[in-house]
Amino acid sequence: MNRITPASLAGANGYRTKRRVPDQRGIQDIRNLPDTEFDGLWDAVILPTHTKDRLLSQAVLNFSARARLQEVSMPLHGIILLVGPPGTGKTSVARGLASRTAASLNGSITYIEVEPHALASAALGKSQQAVSHLLGTVIAEEASSGPCIVLLDEVETLAADRRKMSLEANPVDVHRATDAVLAQMDQLAANHPQLLFVATSNFAGAIDDAFFSRADLVVTIDLPSPEACREILFDSLDRLARVYPKIGRIKTDPAIERAAKRCVGLDGRRIRKAVLSSLAHSKQIAASPDLLTADAVLAAIEFAQAERASVEDKR
C-alpha cells in the first residue's frame, strides 16, 4: 500500500508545522492541526458569528462526547455538510473549522483533504475499489492513530444521487462508488468516534439522500448579505493596505460606499477578485498600486456585476 511520507514546513509565525507529502491516490493534502494558514482562512471568511459558533460547537461535540453518546445508540455519524453556491467560502470555512477545532480541544489533530476527482475511473469497478481503499484502509488507519478531520470537497462527486442517474448515461461504477462511500462511512462512524468528516458541495441537489441523512449538521453558506458584502469589500481593502498603505485613504470616499452596495449579488470570492482587478484599472495604478482610487474599485465591481449578468443570461 502507498504510504504518506512525513515532512515539515516553517509556519508564518516562525515555528515549524509538521506536514506530510501525500502520495496516496485521492489525498490532496495532509497536515497536523492547529495550522496558522487555516486559522487565517477562518478569520477571512465573513459569516454571521452564530453560524461559525454553531459549526465549531458541532465539531467539538464530535470529539468530546460522540464516543459516549454512541454507547446509548445516539446516531452521530461524524459528518458536517456545507452546501451553497460556488465562491461563498465553503472550502475555506471547512479548513478553518478543522484548525479551530484542534485549538479548542488543545490537542493535535490530523487533517486530510480528499481529492474526489482523482478517484474517478473509466474502468468498470475501479472507482468503487479506489473509494473503498481510501476510506476503509488509508483513512481508517489514520483515524486509528488519533483524532482526525477529513475534508470531502465536492462530495457530490463521491456520493452522487442515485435516483437521478440513468444507467444508460452513467456507468454502474458510479452507483457502486456511492454505495461504497455510504458503506465505508457507516463502518468508520461505528469504529472511529474520533474521526470527523467536513463535506462541501456546490450542488446540494446532486447529493444522495442517504448521505444527507447521515450528516449531523447541514449548513447553507449562501451569498453574502448587504452588510457582509460591505464587510468583505472593506476587509479586502484593509488587506491591500497592509502592503500598500496609501490605499487605506480611499475607504472614506463616497464611491466606496456605492461600490459596497453594488456588491450585493456577488459571492465573496468575486468581490475580492474585483478588488484585486481594480489594481489593473490603468497602467499607472498597475505600476504603483498606492495610486488606487475609489472610482477604480467601483468600476471593477460594476464590471463584475455585468460579467455575472452575462453568464446568467447564457444559462
The answer, yes or no, to whether residue 210 has pLDDT greater than 60, is: yes
Least confident segment among 45-59, 174-188, 204-218, 242-256? 174-188
**Spatial separation of the C-alpha atoms in residues 217 and 231, rounded to whole Å:** 27
DSSP E strands: which ranges in 11-57? 16-21, 27-33
**Range with lowest mean pLDDT among 44-48, 99-103, 196-200, 272-276:** 44-48
Give the pLDDT confidence score for residue 165 in this predicted structure: 63
Confidence category of residue 11, pLDDT binned at 50, 70, 90 = very low
Coil, strand or helix at 29: strand
Q: Could you read off the pLDDT of 142-163 as tens digits, one per residue?
A: 999 999 999 999 998 888 777 7
Q: What is the mean pLDDT of the chain?
A: 87
pLDDT at 294 over 50: yes
Single pTM value for the model: 0.85
Q: State the Cα–Cα distance between residues 314 and 108, nearest whole angstrom.
A: 48
Averaged pLDDT for residues 69-94: 90
Burial of 118 (0-12, 13-18, 19+ CB in 10 A): middle
And the C-alpha cell for 56? 465549531
Q: Is a pLDDT exceeding 50 seen at residue 51?
A: yes
Cα 170 to Cα 121, 129, 161, 165, 277, distances in angstroms: 12, 17, 12, 6, 40
Render pLDDT for 229-270 as a digit per residue (tens, 0 to 9): 999 999 999 999 999 999 999 999 999 999 999 999 999 999
Cell output for 275: 478588488
Place of cell 469497478: 125
187 contact partners, CB below 8 Å, separation of at least 6: 136, 140
User: In order of start, what are the domains of the chain with their CATH numbers?
Assistant: 5-220 (3.40.50.300), 226-308 (no CATH)
206's CB contacts (< 8 A; 6+ apart) are 156, 160, 161, 164
CA 35 to chain centre: 15
Sheet holding 217-220, edge to edge: 5-10, 16-21, 27-33, 109-114, 148-152, 195-201, 79-83, 217-220
Averaged pLDDT for residues 156-178: 69
As a whole number of angstroms, the distance between CA 131 and CA 137 comes to 10
Return all residues near 152 (Cβ < 8 A) that are at least 6 apart: 114, 116, 158, 197, 198, 199, 200
Closest CA to 159 of 90, 121, 214, 223: 214
